[in-house]
Amino acid sequence: MALVGRMQARKWRDNQLTLIVEYLKQSAGEIDFIRHLRACRECQLEASLSIERYGGRGLPWFFDLINDPFECGDDVGEDSIWKDCPRVQDYRIGSYWDSSTDHNETGKFITDRLNWAEKIIRQQIWNAVTYYKLLKEWDLNGEYPLEPALPF
């Protein structure tokens, strides 16, 4: 039974390591997107129009206003990543459809959300790397290593 347990543990560990690597690739892509968006005026304009027209649809999770817990009326707890999130209601983001657009406010909203999301993504990368190292060093005996608060 010990051999079967080790085989199951190895399979679980290998699966977790694969998930972590994929998560790290995705997170690194989000950080690259954030850096690019800060530097590229043309992409800032596109993001601004996407937020004003479509509620951020097609943009990364931190700009998706359609599924934003504040827009959905969800209660965000003190432990939630959303507790420090810049709220849409605090900005005068207009609507492209009724000509009430204030691109400066939308730009400020984008900058604030980028800063907020980057902190979260970097912390999650740190947690994922720590968990990866813990799994690599695990000898497959005893309790499974505890997962940090990661989305996978």
DSSP for 55-67 reads TTTTS-GGG-SSS
Q: How distant, in Å, are the alpha carbons of 10, 44, 73, 77, 112 from that of 59?
A: 37, 11, 21, 25, 15
Range with lowest mean pLDDT among 91-100, 108-117, 124-133: 91-100
pLDDT, averaged across the chain: 84
How many Å apart are CA 50 and CA 2, to the nearest integer?
55
Q: Virtual CA dihedral for 33, 36, 41, 42, nearest 10 degrees? A: -60
Quote the pLDDT of residue 98.
65
- Sign (positive or negative) of CA dihedral 58, 97, 108, 150: negative
**pLDDT grade for 33, boundaries at 50, 70 and 90:** very high
Inter-residue long-range contacts of 68-76, CB under 8 Å, 24+ positions, other chains counted: none
Of the spans 63-72, 101-110, 112-121, which averages the highest pLDDT? Answer: 112-121
Residue 61 · residue 113 · CB < 8 Å: no
Higher-confidence residue of 143 and 130: namely 130
pTM above threshold 0.95: no
Q: At 9, is the pLDDT very low, low, confident or very high (cuts 50, 70, 90)?
A: confident
109 burial via Cβ count (<10 Å: 0-12, 13-18, 19+) = buried
Q: What angle do CA 95, 63, 27 make, to 5 degrees?
A: 165
* pLDDT, average across residues 75-103: 72
Inter-residue contact 103 to 48 (CB < 8 Å): yes
Confidence of residue 129 (pLDDT cuts 50, 70, 90): very high
Of residues 98 and 58, which shows the higher confidence score? Answer: 58
What pLDDT sits at residue 119? 94
